[in-house]
Amino acid sequence: METLHTIARISGKRRAVFRVPTVTRGHVFMSVADPSVRKAVVVEVDATRFLELWRQPYSSHPEVAHLGPKDWPSDYKFRHAEAGFAEGEWNPVPLASVSCGVYVEQVKIVRSYYLGIRKNVEWREGPPSNLLGFTNGITRTIWLLTAGVRVFPVECGAEDAALLQRLAGLPGSVPRTVADLLPEPTDAQYFEELRADEERIRQRYAIR
């Protein structure tokens, strides 16, 4: 994966850490936690394609999606995302959690007979529309888009990953499960990760 940076134990929790380039804020860091917490798939999305999907008629939070970089910083939670990303590699921001699907509207068709006295009602399927939903991470996402991100990772359910990759995924990237990103470490890896985490904590507070 283009943005996958490292596997690290941070504050005792094992994470896959992603290094995400932006135009105005340089590289920022995001992470997904141990697969025992929840089952998920990580998909690297193309920012332009992702926003196009988010702006489809049946996607969630259209009042946010249809704004832009000039308006998003006015969001009341934007400063929290700013503070979160400012932590850098010390404390990577969690990936946004999204869903992706297809909505098919049921269209009501009424046919009248005998001067409108008798009615025959039919229901037919309208044209399908792709949609995007958020479980969490909207503010993180608009912060990234405001910063000029080109590609960034999100997490979704296994049932949505293939569709999300097809509609908004980075071309050539392959979705990966969190379990695949974070396989069970060997004893040597485990102790090395613990040692590195302790050293990271010492360095952080020594700097401060």
Going by C-alpha positions, the residue among 147, 135, 129, 160 that lies closest to residue 53 is 129
pLDDT of the residue at 117: 62
- The CA distance from 105 to 8, in Å, is 45
List all residues 6 or more positions away from 39 whose beta carbon is below 8 Å from its beta carbon.
157, 158, 177, 178, 179
Q: Parallel, antiparallel, or unpaired for β 97-113 and 118-136?
A: antiparallel
- The CA distance from 28 to 46, in Å, is 16
pLDDT of the residue at 14: 86
pLDDT of the residue at 189: 78
pLDDT of the residue at 159: 94
pLDDT of the residue at 193: 76
pLDDT of the residue at 120: 66
Going by C-alpha positions, the residue among 36, 38, 32, 42 that lies closest to residue 8 is 32
- Give the residue ranges of the chain where pLDDT is below 50: none
pLDDT of the residue at 128: 77
**The pair of three-digit structure tokens given for residue 52, joined into one six-digit string:** 């196009």
The backbone torsions φ and ψ at residue 78, rounded to the nearest 5 degrees and listed phi first, read -60, -40
pTM of the entire structure? 0.83
